[in-house]
């Protein structure tokens, strides 16, 4: 792979941006937040994050989705954790999210608007909710 | 799962961001059989009492999670450094910032693998907040020597919450390591 320059990166970004601008009118309504605390990192949160980025890009829903990182969500026992906020659906925290589950979450929850069973966990622990 | 050096570093970058630093410098240098890592920030810094306790895994400042009683980032690093006979130094001044450096002997059996550097850089650039992160990377053997700036990448790519931008950022970061 040849070393890419910032100018080359800018050109690539402009090419993809033209395609995105047409869809941006609806605004970004969906949020996907990946817990990246020590516990999350140790359990593989970076793999989950990358799988989400890849899947969102592949499903061409980039224009509607905000992907963010945060610290520990208080669910260390089921890391990696991912919170998904989709209008019209309950805000959901998924736990034990590896790369395959992350791709599933994007396909089922973000695209098909269905919850992914078997990986839904409670809201964050009391120490975070009460702060 | 075993920790990689990148995992340690991501934790430490988060510490700097949470310390309200608006300028963070990270360097990852491999030369003369050593892996030298430094992270320097201009965040709120630590007083002497806090400094003495940061290596205790059951100590945290409690700012992020009020009732949380553990702080594992620095203790994990110190443990790994001690296992390999490396070096660790930490200096900090309240209101001025913190400098943390550690070194691993590259050939030691217990030195953690470097891990996924492009992934680390991408994650470190993606946290919320208005901070500049400068990354200096050098590998003598592979003749690699480059710097990255969060603000420069931001200017080119725009929003780091956008999957399209993140995919391109990853490609760019991978190409620097190639």
| Nearest-CB residue to B157 (from A4, A13, A42) | A13
Mean pLDDT score of chain B:
90
Peptide bond preceding B161 in cis form (omega within 30 of 0): no
Q: Dihedral through CA B113, CA B17, CA B15, CA A28, nearest 10?
A: -70
Whether pLDDT at A24 is above 70 = no
CB contact (8 A) between residue B11 and residue A38? yes
Token pair of B90, please?
């930490």
Scanning every residue of chain B, which has its alpha carbon at the shortest distance from the alpha carbon of A72?
A: B65
Token pair of B160, please?
């780091």
The residues spanned by each domain of chain B are 5-177
The residues spanned by each domain of chain A are 26-129
Q: Tokens 């970061």 map to which residue?
A: B173
Closest CA to A69 of B19, B14, B70, B118: B14
Distance CA B86, CA B155 (A): 38
Question: A29-87: per-residue pLDDT in tens?
Answer: 899 999 998 889 889 999 999 999 999 999 988 888 999 998 888 888 999 999 999 98
pLDDT for position B176: 96
Question: B81-135: per-residue pLDDT in tens?
Answer: 999 999 999 999 999 999 999 999 988 888 889 999 999 999 999 998 899 999 9
Scanning every residue of chain A, which has its alpha carbon at the shortest distance from the alpha carbon of B121?
A: A46
Chain B hits for A6, Cβ within 8 Å: 152-153, 156
pLDDT for position A130: 46
Q: Dihedral through CA A20, CA A71, CA B77, CA B46, nearest 10?
A: 110
pLDDT for position A129: 45
The DSSP code sequence of B152-173 is: HHHHHH--TT-HHHHHHHHHHH
Higher pLDDT, A84 or A131: A84
- Three-state DSSP class for residue B131: coil
pLDDT cut 90: percent of chain A above it: 52
Among the listed ranges A34-38, B4-8, B67-71, B145-149, which one has the minimum average pLDDT value?
A: B67-71
Contact B85, B105 (CB under 8 A): yes
Distance CA A65, CA A85 (A): 10
Does the domain at B5-177 match CATH 3.30.565? Answer given as yes
CATH annotation of A26-129: 3.40.30.10
């Amino acid at each position: 792979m040849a070393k890419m320059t910032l100018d080359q990166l800018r050109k690539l970004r402009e090419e993809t941006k033209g395609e995105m601008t047409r869809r941006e009118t609806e605004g970004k309504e969906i949020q996907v937040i990946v817990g990246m605390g020590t516990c999350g990192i140790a359990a593989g949160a970076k793999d989950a994050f990358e799988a989400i980025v890849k899947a969102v890009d592949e499903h061409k829903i980039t224009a509607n989705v905000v992907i963010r990182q945060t610290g520990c969500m208080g669910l260390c026992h089921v890391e990696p954790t991912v919170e998904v906020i989709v209008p019209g659906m309950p805000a959901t925290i998924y736990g034990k999210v590896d790369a395959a589950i992350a791709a599933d979450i994007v396909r089922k929850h973000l695209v098909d608007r269905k919850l992914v069973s078997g990986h839904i966990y409670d809201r964050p622990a009391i120490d975070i909710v009460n702060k | 799962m075993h920790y990689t050096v990148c995992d340690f570093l991501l934790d430490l970058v988060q510490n700097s961001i949470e310390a309200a630093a608006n300028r963070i410098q990270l360097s990852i240098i491999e030369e003369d059989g050593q892996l030298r890592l430094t992270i320097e920030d201009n965040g709120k810094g630590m007083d002497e009492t806090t400094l003495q306790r940061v290596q205790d895994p059951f100590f945290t400042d409690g700012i992020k999670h009020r009732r949380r009683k553990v702080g594992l980032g620095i203790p994990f690093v110190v443990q790994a450094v001690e296992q390999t006979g490396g070096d660790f130094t930490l200096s900090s001044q309240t209101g001025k910032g913190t400098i943390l450096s550690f070194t691993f002997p590259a050939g030691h059996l217990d030195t953690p693998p470097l891990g996924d550097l492009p992934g680390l850089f991408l994650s470190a650039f993606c946290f919320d907040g208005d901070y500049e992160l400068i990354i200096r990377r050098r590998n003598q053997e592979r003749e690699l020597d480059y710097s990255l700036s969060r603000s420069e990448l931001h200017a080119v790519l725009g929003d780091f919450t956008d999957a399209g931008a993140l995919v391109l950022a990853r490609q760019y970061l991978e190409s620097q390591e190639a």
